[in-house]
Amino acid sequence: MESANGRVLQPQGKLLNSSEFLDESSVHPNHQNLISTTREGHPDPLCESHYNSSRNMGHLITVATCSLNQWALDWEGNAARIVESIQKAKAAGARLRVGPELEICGYGCLDHLLEQDLYLHCFEMLRRILLDETCYGILLDIGMPVQHRNQRFNCRVLCLDGKILMIRPKMWLANDGNYREMRHFTPWMHPRQTEQYHLPRILQDIQGATHVVFGDAVVSTPDTCFGAETCEELFTPNAPHIAMSLDGVEIITNSSGSHFTLQKLDTRLKLIMEATRKCGGIYLYANQQGCDGDRLYYDGSAMILVNGDVVAQGSQFSLNDVEVITATVDLEEVRAYRSAISRGLQAARSDAKYERIQTSFELSSEDEDADIMITPSPPIKPKFYSVEEEIALCAGCYLWDYLRRSGTAGYLVPLSGGIDSCATATIVFSMCRIVIKAVEEGNLQVIEDVKRLAKYDGEGVLPKTPQALCNQIFSTIYMGMKTQSSAETRQRARDLAEAIGSYHINLDIDDVYNAQKSLAVSALNFEPRFKVEGGTQQENLTLQCIQARIRMVTAYEFGQLLPTARGRPGGGGLLVLGSANVGESLRGYFTKYDCSSADINPIGSIDKADLKRFIAWAEKDFNIPCLHDFLTAVPTAELEPISETYVQSDEVDMGMTYQELTIMGRLRKVNKLGPYGMFQRLVHDWSIDRKRGPEDDAPAYEPSQTADKVKKFFHFYAINRHKMTTLTPALHCNDYSPDDNRFDLRPFLYPPFWKSWSFKKIDAELERIEKRRAKTKA
């Protein structure tokens, strides 16, 4: 920053005369690349921009971005992964490395971000990175939270050779869905303005100064200029990259903590492609990857784009703790792309001028330009997965992270013979396939984790197949009833367990059920009966719930005992997996504290239709023919006695199909519709009078039937809403998840909907519609 006497303030805090810049010997050898801070219109004598450079600057540069499997509050582990990513980037020839959002502490720290200790430990880990000379010789964009003037900011710390160039706070915070950044951070509300940040003492000695630049600025090198935006800022209408591009910033870095949602990558990539296609430039996207301690899976997909084309893309789902991608890009392509007259006029008229932090460190290399073997990375076709593949890969990778970091011995799933528990078990098998593939590829961290978990064949013996691994870390249990359970569901459970290799137990719970039932009989002198035996609805529900809750207790009992009973060295316990799908949660069609109560639920935000498509895909892709039997079976809870004239059916019990549940669930959450608004929408979408196209598979109902469906949906949602407050944490996969944790915040005690004003509005609208239909038909 230029002072009144014409001198330029270095980031170290030392004042040098302009002439001193010509003598690099006055700067410490390790810090010669750190030169000065200037404002637009005050060129630095040494750090001429590439536009006015008198010497031959290179135009080919190699840049790196990464996906890191960080873990919230894993301080030393997170720092080690950051250092490894820097070293890999350097080894690939990169001179700029970008990391994920809040990578030092991990994105999912939640309310730990309110604790003073967290900020201290972040600076301690940053100091460790800055002192590591293997991290020199490359520009670093590192994510961490920073406190400034008693406010907390989500920041990018831009570093070079053990020094901080500047700190760039996030301006637009993510505050919807699963994100609550406004709870933890303050947005930087001063575009293109900076202040001086007072460094903590533990950094002052290595910085050689007490202050660094803090705010919305960019970094200028002799050959180019780069600026940072963070995650949510990309999604805003007036994203920072627009103003930066118009001010000559050629490289934009975006550091994200973006979690997985089915088919979300397509939306994310389109935004980045459009940003660089419209503005031109080089865009580096970094993201966290894996489970960092919450119900979210961060789906990596680090990317490098040039002028709207993808030139490098990392994996979306992976067991690699550190994944670095690089690309060689041509700066001249950006300048040529931006040569349009209209863009030049906009840039000339723009008042959005950024303060530039100058450095003599060059991103390009004359050697690189002279090496004719080095060419710019060509455009590639982006990689996308189908919904079925995403379920298999995302949930599989998430479960592996959860298992290896929990310190437990494996998973247990109660198999019912239905498609939901079948899907959960198949996801665990998918996990085992992913793990065995990583072992075959030589992933040392995965090999170490497998050796720690799979002990039944002896210490250090690695399973060779997914089925062999499955048998060591996955147990399944079928808990039947003699009169309620069918031979078909029992056989399907047995066939699936054999196909995937799980350690399977087949038992009946009649003795426990009868003992629990007799307790009520003896205490109340009253014997409850099922509906088919002449009992009331309340009696019927009570007897069903006894069975369901016994299964939950039994599942946890076996989960705690099985490793020891099987002779696993060191014993251990199993994590119990739940299998309630998103439709059942919306409708409340499950027993509170039954097998839906578990440690984690991998399918809790996935609807029945997607689960069926996943199973149909897995039948062929995993070569498990028995999965076909699950697809053709009628969904049933099997909690009531089976007779020749009666078999319990889920959809009959619920009064709506799973397809209808999915539609209404999306309208409730994604479209933000209440009862009246939903009826107004569905009375058209489901109209029996509508003209139906070849791809129209929506229901066809009379207006009165649609009104009845909508009313039942909200009635049962309301009276069962309390169940969501205790529901097992579910892996987040859908934007209409009813997850009570922080994604879908609602009361759990509602006034009766049947008497509500919204239902009266539906009745009035229905009457108006029927009068109009009658008049039309007449």
Per DSSP (E only), the strands in 445-568 are 474-480, 503-508
Determine whether 695 is an active site residue.
no
- Tens digit of pLDDT for each residue in 214-234? 999 999 999 999 999 999 888
Residue 495 has pLDDT above 90, yes or no: yes
Is the pLDDT assigned to residue 454 strictly greater than 60?
Answer: yes
pLDDT of residue 33: 53
Catalytic pick from 47, 49, 85, 101?
Answer: 101
Q: What is the pLDDT of residue 763?
A: 95
Phi/psi zone of residue 89: left (φ > 0), alpha (ψ -120 to 50 degrees), beta? alpha
Dihedrals phi, psi of 228, to nearest 5 degrees: -115, 140
437 vs 345: which has the higher pLDDT: 437
Count of beta carbons in the 10 Å neighbourhood of residue 605? 25
Helices (H) and strands (E) counted in the chain, each on its own, are 25, 23
Catalytic residue among 85, 301, 416, 605: 416
Whether the per-residue pLDDT at 32 is higher than 50: the answer is: no
**Distance from C-alpha of 221 to C-alpha of 360, rounded to nearest angstrom:** 6
Q: What is the DSSP string of 547-607?
A: HHHHHHHHHHHHHHHHHHHTT-TT---EEEBP---HHHHHHT-S-TTSTT-SSBBTTTT--
The full set of domain ranges for the chain reads 8-13+30-370, 387-508+555-632, 649-778
Structure token pair of residue 19: 């002439």
The catalytically annotated residue of 88, 170, 608, 709 is: 170
More confident position, 740 or 679: 679
Among 20-24, 592-596, 678-682, 755-759, where is mean pLDDT lowest?
Answer: 20-24
In this prediction, residue 30 has a pLDDT band, given cuts at 50, 70 and 90, of very low
pLDDT at 46: 40
The catalytic position among 66, 159, 231, 422 is 231
Angle, helices 444-453 vs 387-406, to 10°: value is 60
Tens digits of residue pLDDT in 628-657:
999 999 888 888 887 777 788 888 889 999
pLDDT in tens, 34-87: 545 554 444 443 443 444 443 455 689 999 999 999 999 999 999 999 999 999
Q: What is the pLDDT of residue 23?
A: 35
pLDDT at 51: 45
Q: Which CATH number fits domain 387-508+555-632: 3.40.50.620, 3.40.309.10, 3.40.640.10, 3.10.150.10?
A: 3.40.50.620
- What CA–CA distance (Å, rounded) separates 702 from 710? 13
Q: Are 603 and 592 in contact (CB under 8 A)?
A: no
Answer whether 362's CB lies under 8 Å from 223's CB.
yes
Which candidate, 290, 302, 318, 299, places its Cα nearest to that of 398? 290
- Among 18-22, 101-105, 601-605, 612-616, the range scoring the smallest mean pLDDT is 18-22
pTM for this prediction: 0.90
Mean pLDDT of the chain: 90
Per mean pLDDT, which range of 459-463, 602-606, 624-628 is the poorest? 459-463
What is the predicted pLDDT for the residue at 1? Answer: 39
Q: Which of 347, 266, 277 is nearest to 301 (CA)?
A: 266
Average pLDDT over residues 462-487: 96
Q: pLDDT digits over 309-341, tens only? A: 999 999 999 999 999 999 999 999 999 999 875
Q: Centre a 10 Å sphere on the Cβ of residue 523 and count the other Cβ atoms it contains.
A: 8
Name the percent of the chain lying above pLDDT 90. 77
DSSP 254-292: EEE-PBP-TTHHHHHHHHHHHHHHHH-SEEEEEEEEE--
Give per-residue pLDDT as tens, 727-737: 999 999 999 89
Q: Output the DSSP codes for 190-250.
A: -TT-EEEEE--HHHHHHHTSSEEEEES-EEE-SS-EEEEEEGGGGGSTT-HHHHHHHTT--
Using DSSP's 3-state secondary structure scheme, residue 365 falls into coil
Using CA of residue 2, residue 5, residue 10, residue 16, what is the dihedral sign? Answer: positive
Specify the pLDDT at position 741. Answer: 85
Active site residue 651: no
CA-wise closest residue to 574 among 583, 565, 582: 565
DSSP line for 619-651 = HHHTT-TTHHHHHHSPP----S---SS----HH
Q: Is 1.10.10 the CATH classification of the domain at 649-778?
A: yes
Distance separating alpha carbons of residues 251 and 516, to the nearest angstrom: 68
Per-residue pLDDT reduced to its tens digit, 87-130: 999 999 999 999 999 999 999 999 999 999 999 999 999 999 99
Amino acid at 213: V
Please give the pLDDT value at position 683.
97
With bands split at pLDDT 50, 70 and 90, how would you rate the model's confidence at 347? low
How far apart CA 669 and CA 674 sit, in angstroms, is: 9
Q: What is the pLDDT of residue 12?
A: 37
552-576, pLDDT tens digit by residue? 999 999 999 999 999 999 999 999 9
Q: Are 555 and 411 in contact (CB under 8 A)?
A: no
Q: Tokens 């998103």 appear where? A: 582
Strands 503-508 and 474-480: parallel
170 counts as catalytic: yes
The average pLDDT across 265-276 equals: 90
In this structure, the number of other CB atoms found within 10 A of the CB of residue 632 comes to: 7
Q: What's the CA gap between 78 and 321, in Å, rounded? A: 10
**Are residues 674 and 756 in contact, defined by beta-carbon separation less than 8 angstroms?**
no
In 303-398, beta strands by DSSP E: 303-306, 309-313, 322-330, 356-359
Measured CA to CA, the distance from residue 342 to residue 334 in angstroms comes to 16
pLDDT of 86:
99
CA 223 to chain centre: 36
Name the band, by pLDDT with cuts 50, 70 and 90, for residue 370.
low
Find the mean pLDDT for residues 183-199: 97
CATH class name, domain 8-13+30-370: alpha beta
> Terminal CA-to-CA distance of the chain, rounded, Å?
82
Q: What is the pLDDT of residue 47?
A: 42
User: In the predicted model, is pLDDT for residue 4 greater than 80?
Assistant: no
- Give the pLDDT of residue 778: 73
> Do the domains spanning 387-508+555-632 and 649-778 agree at the CATH topology level?
no
Smallest CA-to-CA distance from 605 within 495, 764, 728 is with: 728
Unique residue bearing structure tokens 């009946």: 508
